[in-house]
Amino acid sequence: MRTSQRGIDLIKAHEGFRTKAYLDPGSQDGKPWTIGYGHTKGVKEGDIITKAQATEFLRQDVKEAESHVNKKVTVPLNQGQFNALVSFVFNVGRGAFSRSTMLRKLNASDYAGAANEFKRWNKNDGRIMEGLIKRRADERACFESGQAPKSAAEMVKQLKRPVNKKKPTGWQKFWKWLKG
């Protein structure tokens, strides 16, 4: 399977684009150096990149994540599930995904259980990160809906909203009341 454009947009929206190499703001030691759309291989302080180079690196990095998902997942996936998993692997890495409860549950055909695992991956170096909370919510929505949640522009707007500050909708209140 291959990542759709909506899946690429999901990754781009959460990684953002930077022309100059920067240290990971969420890690305690600042490493790794990162550039473009979340590219880390061979990046060092002072590196500069064009959008075309960043797009090519993104294509290569996504291809590696796709290959890993295709290799490790043994159950059928729809496009949205695949897109979400590629975004997840792109962010957490192949080793973390391979050892994850998410993969174990997914390969046991526990799709709902696997979806619930996204929210557990909200930390970097032991600290909860708002950006990871939002990313995992979007990945889970993509996984559960069968498609990437929104266009990249809509996702960028959504990233600027406060976390967990939405008021429940009428339907959510009704269901909560109904469940007792």
Write out the catalytic residue numbers. Answer: 15
* E strands, 17-167, in order: 18-23, 33-36, 123-124, 127-128
Q: What share of the chain is helix, strand, coil (3-state, %, to 5)?
A: 55, 10, 35
Query: Does the N-terminal peptide bond of residue 168 adopt cis geometry, omega within 30 degrees of 0?
Result: no
**Closest CA relative to residue 144, chosen from 99, 74, 79, 76:** 79
Amino acid letter, residue 168 = P
